[in-house]
Structure 1
């Protein structure tokens, strides 16, 4: 075995252990344990080519400034890149998935070596042959060896980087989930053109009532939705599935129907790139549709000027924070990761957050269910240092155009 192979083997074992620690809450021989390990296996690969949390809602709540040092979970990287519009002092982005780390490192490097049009081709259109030439000539040579090897690795469909020529947003676990969802919609006669050309919220509501809502009454959709593994494609592990269903007394269909309705009906289609991704499996093909802030042409120079402030690490948030000095961070964005955690993991995380928080620090996170999961689980000696910001939480929940989660929550540091 070569040195490179040894390093890869060790890395694979480390990744498997980290993901297992995050996901596995039950013994392997139990039904729940088997589902958790299956989810962990999927999570080693690319899950999200686009993150499904709204960075605009986040920034409105957090009021990020140039003095802020951010910690966030990377996922597909749209949040990391979009937060740079506020020009914070630093962003440390972490993720357990090596695929997400590789995607984020690519996103961070690309603005340094591409102009705005080529950058948009890569992540906006994300389906052009010229993207591969741009990667090979201008971006990949500047990446570290591990990241470069990830994108050049051959798979049964060709090298991984080929997904930028075939439609990036049709790849990953979510991309495959949406492909299957579209097949179900096609079988049910759904035509998304009606949604994508809607002129008003009334038109969008009519589309949902006529085309989407009836699908949730079908026996087949109900059968699928009531299987925990069916929602793995949304990045929802078994523990989070239960939190989703709890809001409606165990009726997961009611939850999915309402959140799909919010996605398609509560925000104008011309302003909701999440709805475009769900209905079109990509952004508008002519480049005139809604996109995340980091892809908007007027933001490119700010993006290019600030990408050097981002560090991307293949670690858990707790692991990364444990190595940071006291009082060194001011903004923490945890996505929905806490829905996966047991009480010990939650307390370890919040101990490190509290230790590293400086005056004025904010923590923002999402939950699959409606309620805040911290009271009664995180020790009072830790949580008493923080104040729940109900106003900001309610506003961010209402503004989140992705509509996937039950609620957005924000805490403010009250000091020692």
Structure 2
């Protein structure tokens, strides 16, 4: 039997490997849509970015002339692009709480020393969190962000059953719940800890195959349920994309990710999974923005960062070409948010791409991810360029081979596909 890997290539299981059948989850309807909207509109969703910036660096080849537009999420990758050499980064998110998180990070870079900064965003907790906030960070924030953190800074205090910031927000709540399940109901917590400390890939693979593969099938099933997916920002439209395109559906996609991350790739530098398994990073396993040797340089680069709370379309339309200098935006990082719009609001998707075309530098590069293996919702999109109407796919110069090669190296492995395309 063959299945599709998250890069879209056919993978045949090794001889003797048995994969238990998985139910295909239903895409969900109006009730799950309202549930997703309620969770997403009222909460901090992402406490860390789950898009591997190592792939983005290779795909974007950033330089001092580049202006990057990126959806903020938790802000980790916006900071990474500054360190990668981008001349200007605009981070935009429709959720003001995500903007507030990046504001707090930038205020901390400007006003704390590295040890204090790492205590908050590396360890994920500090008994001095409220003191640092009141003394050094609060005055640096915009009024909306200040109101949010006035009521939420205790997320860093290290108290309660979610004692790390990386167990806060809706994504952190799901992560902590699943970690507790593996510890208390499956009894494999010590094996997860041993996996993180495995000295070699062979030892890591041995622990995973002998102790964790079976229990993580159950975790995949739980994580694939509509409520769980809503907590990590996956709406019904995106579940539909996975269900229709990924053999075995969402649970298979999640467990295929486990197979890659824990069974085939070294965990030693995989800070994405370390943070959610253990609740913290380490000085040697963390995002680039948290590393001590980058701290002073990051502080110097912060004036190149602009934060916006709006839709991508509104943000782009507010950028007058004359004010943006010669060339406009050169790199667009759209994450997976087109999955949200693709099956629900084609008009909004077309408006966004028209704004991209209107503000893009000639030859601008766009990268995006999808829960599915394809992005068929782009096929009917039409945009106007130089007085003519074009089907969007006819304008895009895609790089599927490069995207597939990079996607195989993805340390997160929760997306079905990765895409790279250039505009004319």
Q: Same fold (TM over 0.5)?
A: yes
| Greater percentage in helix | 1
Secondary structure of 2:157's counterpart equals helix
Secondary structure of 2:281's counterpart equals coil
Q: What per-residue deviation string (whole Å, max 9, x for no partner) do you get for residues 105-157 of structure 1?
A: 1112221112222221221112111232222111111222221121112xxxx
Superposed displacement of residue 255, structure 1? 1.6
Partner of 1:397: 407
Secondary structure of 1:332's counterpart equals strand
> 1:256 & 1:43 partners in 2: Cα distance?
21
Instruction: Tell me whether 1:169 sits opposite 2:169 in the alignment.
Output: no
* Counterpart selection for 2:348 from 323, 331, 345: 345
Instruction: Tell me whether 1:294 sits opposite 2:289 in the alignment.
Output: yes
- Per chain length, whose mean CA-contact separation is higher, i.e. which structure has more relative contact order (CA < 8 Å, sep 6+)? 2
Partner of 1:197: 197
> 1:352 & 1:100 partners in 2: Cα distance?
22
Superposed structure 1 runs of 4+ greater than 4 Å apart:
none
Partner of 2:317: 322
Partner of 2:299: 304
* Worse overlay, 366-375 or 160-169: 366-375
Secondary structure of 1:270's counterpart equals coil
Q: What per-residue deviation string (whole Å, max 9, x for no partner) do you get for residues 212-254 of structure 1?
A: 3212555x974x4563223222221111112223344453322
> Is there any run of 5+ residues in structure 2 with no aligned partner, and where?
1-26, 159-163, 322-326, 383-389
Check 1:183–1:385 CA distance in 2 against 1; reply closer, same or farther (3 A cut).
same
Instruction: Tell me whether 1:365 sits opposite 2:362 in the alignment.
Output: no
Contact 1:273–1:289 under 8 Å retained in 2: no
* Worse overlay, 234-243 or 381-390: 381-390
* Worse overlay, 138-147 or 262-271: 262-271
Q: Please show how residues 142-157 of structure 1 align to structure 2 within 5 Å.
A: 142-153=140-151
Superposed displacement of residue 74, structure 1? 0.3
Contact 2:176–2:276 under 8 Å retained in 1: no
Q: Please show how residues 273-292 of structure 1 align to structure 2 within 5 Å.
A: 273-284=271-282, 288-292=283-287
Contact 2:380–2:391 under 8 Å retained in 1: no
Contact 2:35–2:230 under 8 Å retained in 1: no
> 2:119 & 2:230 partners in 1: Cα distance?
29
* Counterpart selection for 1:386 from 396, 400, 406: 396
Partner of 2:60: 62
Superposed displacement of residue 365, structure 1? 0.6
> 2:40 & 2:232 partners in 1: Cα distance?
11
Partner of 1:180: 177
Which TM-score applies when normalising by structure 1? 0.85
Contact 1:333–1:363 under 8 Å retained in 2: yes
Superposed displacement of residue 211, structure 1? 3.0
Superposed displacement of residue 375, structure 1? 4.8
Check 1:87–1:109 CA distance in 2 against 1; reply closer, same or farther (3 A cut).
farther
Contact 2:339–2:370 under 8 Å retained in 1: yes
Contact 1:334–1:363 under 8 Å retained in 2: yes
* Worse overlay, 208-217 or 318-327: 208-217
> 1:124 & 1:411 partners in 2: Cα distance?
34
Count of matched residue pairs: 374
Q: What per-residue deviation string (whole Å, max 9, x for no partner) do you get for residues 274-302 of structure 1?
A: 12123212213xxx331011111111122
Secondary structure of 2:380's counterpart equals coil
Partner of 2:418: 408
Contact 1:84–1:302 under 8 Å retained in 2: no
Contact 1:245–1:255 under 8 Å retained in 2: no
* Counterpart selection for 1:355 from 354, 358, 372: 358
> 2:340 & 2:364 partners in 1: Cα distance?
23
Secondary structure of 2:268's counterpart equals helix
Contact 1:55–1:82 under 8 Å retained in 2: yes
Check 1:88–1:253 CA distance in 2 against 1; reply closer, same or farther (3 A cut).
closer
Check 1:199–1:307 CA distance in 2 against 1; reply closer, same or farther (3 A cut).
same
Q: What per-residue deviation string (whole Å, max 9, x for no partner) do you get for residues 164-200 of structure 1?
A: 2222111011111011111221211212122111122
> Is there any run of 5+ residues in structure 1 with no aligned partner, and where?
1-29, 154-159
Partner of 1:21: none
Contact 1:354–1:382 under 8 Å retained in 2: no
* Worse overlay, 297-306 or 209-218: 209-218
Contact 1:372–1:409 under 8 Å retained in 2: no
Partner of 1:14: none
Contact 1:69–1:328 under 8 Å retained in 2: yes
Secondary structure of 1:312's counterpart equals strand
